[in-house]
Structure 1
Amino acid sequence: MRIERLTPASYRDLIQPDRVHGSLYTEPYVFEDELDKIFHRGWVFVAHESELPNVGDYVTRTVGRQHYLLVRGQDGAVNVFFNRCQHRGNLLCNKPTGTAKNFACPYHGWTFGLNGELQDVPHAGGFEKDWTKLGLEVPRSGNYRGFIFASAATDGISLDEHLGRAKELIDRACDLSPTGQLRLTAGWVRHEYAANWKMLPENDTDGYHVGFTHQSFMRAIRSQYDSFVSDEKQIKGVIRDWGNGHTEIDFAGGYTKPLEWLGTTPEKVPEYVAALEEAYGKERAEELMHLGPPHACIWPNLFLAEMNIVIFQPLAVDKSVQWHTPMLLEGAEGLDFRLLRQSEGALGPASFLVADDASIAERTQRALESGDPWCDLSRGLNREEIDARGVRSSHMTDETSNRGFWQHYLHVMGG
């Protein structure tokens, strides 16, 4: 069923309610179409404002083939630019992070200020254009509770429309901080996968694989996940499709005591408990300590991985990179050591989970390249429920989240 020319009908043929075709993971022309429709025209996560604490601090990020430059301006706001010089298109800033008073292009020395204005053109005697019209290009951008998103398209839906109901998931993460603010300041670790980027968000809200792919983890460590791999009728986790491609595994129903998700108890972290109660009141603090953080993917490239933040970066049809950093809580610095160690154990270079997931993704990629297969997504199709918010949910082992991902993919790619 290889399709050589992409049309909206092509995607409707390849994506059905209960299955998707393997060529969507393996065909280079599909990947090129994704870069345009998903990563260029749509909203993507680019950085967190805590990465830019001071005036002049900057980060550069690449999403798809688009290069972004984010910098804290003199007015305290975070400015988002395309990372290219307005003269001859050279990559303006080559370092991933740093602090600068301005940005000078290494090709011809054109210099731009922190607000993007063109400040200097060397040997300007032969240059007669209006400098005010040659500042850095500004993509559409938006900030929700410190998470900065950008779109390279000049028009389209708003960030608020894109996030939709999934803003509740970001709120759930931020509200674990007594100040409502997160800190992504521990640095990023990157893992390259020899697999298509879509396998990363699909896997990360797939509750069906946990007891099989991560058997070694389950056998080696007593954790809050033990109850999620027991008999099917005893599993309390819930899969959710929040719409717009945003998906979640909600573990809260399986937690038996407050802070189980943190691997501790309120008695062992009294300063954190006191700070939460002071900020939110005792009742809300107790609710937060029981609910814990979200385990949710925000379409297309952000993963709220409980106490980690993850970025999915597509490189080629069969190559992607997963970034991760611990999600540190402002006002709860006493938890930093614990969160760093947990992050290393879950997602670090010698961790339990990433190696398993990467191996599965790479084996799937190889298998799909060797044939013309369909991938079944029918589990739980007839036992889903829709709540008053319009959020679709089902048993943790069902494929509701995967279907939600692919139905939004069809909407974006197929029109």
Structure 2
Amino acid sequence: MTRGASMALTVQSSPATNDYRFLVQDDRVHGSLYTDPAVFADEMARIFTDGWVFVGHESEVPEIGDWVSRRLGTEPVLMVRNRDGAISVVANRCAHRGTTLCPQNDGNNRNFRCPYHGWTYDLDGTLLGVPGPKGFHKDTADLGLDRPGQVDDYRGFVFANRSGTAGPLSEHLGAGGTDLIDRTSNMSPTGRVRLRAGWIGQRIDSNWKMWPESDNDGYHLNFTHASMALAVPDTYYDEIVMGGEEASASVTRAYDGGHIELDFRRGYTTELAWLGTTRDKVTDYCDALERSFGADKAQSILWDGPPHALVFPNLFLAEMNIARIEPLAPGVTVHHHTPLLVEGTDESVNRRLVLQSEAAMGPASFFLTDDAVIAERMHRAFQGAVVGDGGWVDLSRGLEREHSEDGQRWSDITDETTNRGFWHHYRDVMADVMVNSPHNGA
């Protein structure tokens, strides 16, 4: 792997004791998967280096020179709008001595200049110049910033694959992931959403995999979030989820590729229930959807609302929010979120969406703070878990009443179909790491 082509791979091979076919079974997983540093290293190699990872949205870098700082697994990167209008992803690390180029979260630059020795890079990572060039005999073309092997987007959602071996993004998304992003994007009358309200990141002392689980679990809401039901009665969650087993027509879904969803569409009993309002209060938004999509499709959008889903491994489509799951260590995760803003309509709709985002996922919110406490308690409980007779996590709820057809499985909204879908795909990705990973020294 050469500089300026693909990022240097720093993870090590997985030990033979990590038998993922055993650790992830059809109806349970072992607790050591949350806490074992060797498992985390394997994940950074197989999932976050060899696979596609969500980086950001094109709306975050609208102008040439705009950039935002992100991570691919534990690797700091910059997502940049280039001079030709395309989007690049480059390492946020000087190719000379490894100094962080941009310590801020976002900005706009004509180029990137290292504060240590003054090496200067173009927006696409090409080395432009070095002070005292006579002291170097190497070709500067070989000294550009590390870049992922593949960068691609779907409807403005940008993904990167560090190793360049993941195959087309379309195969990673599949029919399920594509449909979920389509439904998200079509919440905007123009078909283009904006992530421009700013991100809030909450650091949680838990493993990253607890967040795909919790964010898409329909069984815990009546217990973990009981305070919300008391403080804010008569929300659509009361009818859809909190009414108890089989009280709702909503379902939990698992798609091929590890993408999962709490599908509320069948459970809504009124138009715009997902927005908590009525047509007369958002008339301009409804009219704009009809002009763009036609009356029938607009009506479907207004009734169905946005998805509540995960695109494997780290993109959470949280209804009218977007979240990024960022693993830092086996027991440290940052959960970033931002409101999903729409175009082509009165800005009052976006103001409503920002307020709803603060209530649902902000630092003093009902949902994310409750889930963070549970995740940290779970992680502490599994510290020191070793493979043996104990330490298993049961995921069998609803297994016998699950339905399967056309690349997806579904069941009652309270069943653990989503968790099984995530973990079964995880097993498929991780189980062959010893045989097929380019990082095993073979």
TM-score by length of 2: 0.90
Of residues 166, 178, 186, the one that matches 1:156 is 166
The match for 2:122 is: 113
**Partner SS for 1:149:** strand
The match for 1:295 is: 308
Q: CA deviation at 1:84?
A: 2.4
The answer to whether the 8 Å contact 2:35/2:384 transfers is no
Q: Distance in 1 between matches of 2:245 and 2:133?
A: 72
1:291-341 C-alpha deviation (Å, 9 max, x unpaired): 100000111111000010001111111111100000011123331111011
Work out whether 1:250 is the aligned partner of 2:263.
yes
Q: Distance in 2 between matches of 1:368 and 1:130?
A: 50
Q: CA deviation at 1:9?
A: 6.8
Q: Distance in 2 between matches of 1:379 and 1:310?
A: 26
Q: CA deviation at 1:193?
A: 1.1
Work out whether 1:342 is the aligned partner of 2:356.
yes
Work out whether 1:328 is the aligned partner of 2:319.
no
Work out whether 1:206 is the aligned partner of 2:224.
no
The match for 2:4 is: none
Q: CA RMSD in A?
A: 1.5
Counterparts in 2 of 1:89 and 1:154: CA distance versus 1, 3 Å:
farther
The answer to whether the 8 Å contact 1:57/1:100 transfers is yes
Q: Distance in 2 between matches of 1:66 and 1:384?
A: 38
The match for 1:185 is: 196
Q: CA deviation at 1:370?
A: 5.8
Work out whether 1:318 is the aligned partner of 2:341.
no
Q: Distance in 1 between matches of 2:124 and 2:205?
A: 38
**Partner SS for 2:118:** coil
Of residues 226, 235, 246, the one that matches 2:238 is 226
Runs of 4+ in 1 over 3 A off after TM superposition: 5-9
Q: Distance in 1 between matches of 2:124 and 2:20?
A: 41
TM-score by length of 1: 0.95
The match for 2:181 is: 170
The match for 1:390 is: 407
One-letter identity of the residue aligned with 2:131: P
One-letter identity of the residue aligned with 1:385: H
1:125-183 C-alpha deviation (Å, 9 max, x unpaired): 22233333433332111111111111111322221111112110000000010111111
One-letter identity of the residue aligned with 1:199: M
The match for 2:429 is: 412
Q: CA deviation at 1:348?
A: 0.5
The answer to whether the 8 Å contact 1:8/1:413 transfers is no
What is the total number of aligned residue pairs between the two structures? Answer: 410
Work out whether 1:403 is the aligned partner of 2:420.
yes
Q: Distance in 1 between matches of 2:40 and 2:143?
A: 33
The match for 1:379 is: 397
Q: Distance in 1 between matches of 2:410 and 2:97?
A: 50
Q: Distance in 1 between matches of 2:189 and 2:127?
A: 41
Work out whether 1:132 is the aligned partner of 2:136.
no
Q: Distance in 2 between matches of 1:411 and 1:114?
A: 37
Give unmatched runs, 5+ long, in structure 2. Answer: 1-13, 433-442
Q: CA deviation at 1:235?
A: 1.5
**Partner SS for 2:48:** helix
The answer to whether the 8 Å contact 2:65/2:82 transfers is yes
Percent identity of paired positions between Structure 1 and Structure 2: 51
Work out whether 1:357 is the aligned partner of 2:367.
no
